Amino acid sequence: MSIVKAYKRRTYIVKKPLQYRFIAWVAGTVVIAVGVMLLDVFITINRHAQEVGLTVQVSDLYNPADPFTLLKLFIYLIGVVYASLLLSHRVAGPIYRFERSADEVAQGDLTHKVFLRQRDELVELRDSFNSMVDALRGKVAGDVACAFRAKKQLEDLLQDVTLPEPVLEKIRRAIGDIGRVGKDFKI
């Protein structure tokens, strides 16, 4: 069962701590990976250069005076941060929606459904959540129907004038209690 509602989130940072940690992890991992790769490249070039009798300095491979080197590094880092922001948005957005949906269901709205954007993650969790709410709604509706039948039977007993007044009072209280079954739910 795939429920998809087309909408566009207006903000990209919907769960700040989660998304900031995610971006930091992705950007940090990329920076470390690039650093390790560059170190490996330099060591490999230096080893091959020594085999042929050359010496290689870092300044031969990297000129810190070149303004484009830092600019390129900055652009790469911005690209990584932007890509991780988009990816985190596809995860954090659904988490945010699930939190709001759980609140709705906790308030008793068993008609509530979780809707995600087409390319959001956690689609399987959405389907499971919606199935769970459907099952709960069915069970509560069954309980309400059963309570309604019991209330009708007790109301029929009230018509029996031969029952003593204390018993009739207990029946009235039971009818009142049964009447509250399911009142906190929207089904």
Tens digit of each residue's pLDDT (9 = 90 or more) over 129-168: 999 999 999 999 999 999 999 999 999 988 887 889 999 8
Query: Model's pTM, two decimal places?
Result: 0.67
In a domain, 42, yes or no: yes
Same-domain check for residues 186 and 141: yes
Residue 112's domain comprises 108-187
Last residue of a domain, one of 67, 85, 106: 106
Same-domain check for residues 86 and 117: no
What 22-25 contacts at long range (C-beta under 8 Å, 24+ apart), as own/partner pairs, is: 22/84, 22/87, 22/88, 22/91, 22/92, 23/81, 23/84, 23/85, 23/88
73-122 pLDDT, tens digit each:
889 889 999 999 888 888 888 998 999 999 999 999 999 999 998 888 89
Same-domain check for residues 141 and 97: no
In a domain, 134, yes or no: yes
Q: Give residue 14's pLDDT band: very low, low, confident or very high (50, 70, 90).
A: confident
Last residue of a domain, one of 45, 74, 106: 106
